[in-house]
Amino acid sequence: MIKLRDSIEGEESFESLLIKRRSVRSFNPKQITFQQLSNILFASYGTINNGPHKTVPSAGALYPLSIYVIVGKESIDNLNNGIYRYLPITNSIEIIKEGDVRRRIAIGCLGQAFISKAPIIIIIAANFERMKYKYGNRGIRYALIEAGHSCQNIELATLSLGLVSCPVGAFTDSEIVKTLGLSDYEIPVYVIPIGNEDK
Ligand SMILES: Cc1cc2nc3c(=O)[nH]c(=O)nc-3n(C[C@H](O)[C@H](O)[C@H](O)COP(=O)(O)O)c2cc1C
């Protein structure tokens, strides 16, 4: 288990971040920092002050999302490439599988090659069954709405750190499931490549 840093405050106003918001699909190979990764993961689904609240609202407080981060080769100083799972309660990450799988993710996203150039890729998966147990089919809607909350937090946190991102919904579920080794209860919902813009 690798403990993340506490999130640090950005300098830009909320309004200026909103004005800058756009989807960027060109990344340069510059590394990102461990502090940037920490801020982004906290924004994605962090537990606030030991709980019970998170940075994202959740229907019935059931919290169906899991957040994974793919770290590319030499993408972050002192962090091995691989697939990591975010553990919100301890604000840490755990390695699931070593190796640089960015190209495989890009292929799984219908060959959107720009994804493989991003130093990190966040993947949001949702447990629909947990939500359906309480809400029936409407639970699927709630889980997807929650993923949208998380993705928007990720995008705005990314911008506040001087980085850029692109939300990606076009992918073959089975390819993402296989690459990440997801369980039957984790349906991939969003793929979000993040990095420094190649201007
Ligand atoms: C649910 C969803 C799925 C998306 N999927 C993709 C995608 O697969 N590939 C991509 O390049 N952009 C994707 N986008 C980004 C949109 O193309 C983009 O938001 C839109 O063109 C508006 O541009 P902007 O975000 O820069 O304002 C997606 C956006 C959303 C909300």
Angle at CA 3, nearest 5°, toward 38 and 5?
40
Token pair of 177 as six digits: 């499931």
Closest CA to 54 of 66, 42, 67: 42
pLDDT digits over 152-165, tens only? 999 999 999 999 99
Cα–Cα distance for residue pair 181/76, rounded to 1 Å: 23
Q: Is the distance from the beta carbon of residue 60 to the nearest atom of ligand 1 less than 6 Å?
A: no
CA end-to-end span of the chain:
36
Cα–Cα distance for residue pair 132/140, rounded to 1 Å: 7
pLDDT at residue number 177: 98
| Stretch 91-116: mean pLDDT | 98
Cα–Cα distance for residue pair 69/122, rounded to 1 Å: 4
Residue nearest to atom 2 of ligand 1 (CA): 169
Q: Is the distance from the beta carbon of residue 138 to the nearest atom of ligand 1 less than 6 Å?
A: no
Three-state DSSP state, 70:
strand
Q: Which residue has the tokens 């990440």?
A: 180
Residues 6+ apart with CB under 8 A from 148: none
DSSP characters over 2-55: EEPPPP---SS-HHHHHHH------B-S--B-HHHHHHHHHHHHPBSTTSS-BS
Query: Global pTM?
Result: 0.98
Distance 6 CA to ligand 1 centre (A): 30
Distance 1 CA to ligand 1 centre (A): 33
Beta carbons of 125 and 186 less than 8 angstroms apart? yes
pLDDT band at 191 (very low <50, low <70, confident <90, very high): very high
pLDDT band at 124 (very low <50, low <70, confident <90, very high): very high
Domains of the chain: 2-195 (3.40.109.10)
pLDDT at residue number 123: 98
pLDDT band at 74 (very low <50, low <70, confident <90, very high): very high
pLDDT at residue number 1: 94
Angle at CA 46, nearest 5°, toward 114 and 36?
45
Write the CA distances from 117 to 44, 89, 160, 175, 195, integer angstroms. 21, 30, 21, 19, 9
**Mean pLDDT rounded to a whole number for the chain:** 97
Q: Is the distance from the beta carbon of residue 172 to the nearest atom of ligand 1 less than 6 Å?
A: no
Distance 110 CA to ligand 1 centre (A): 14
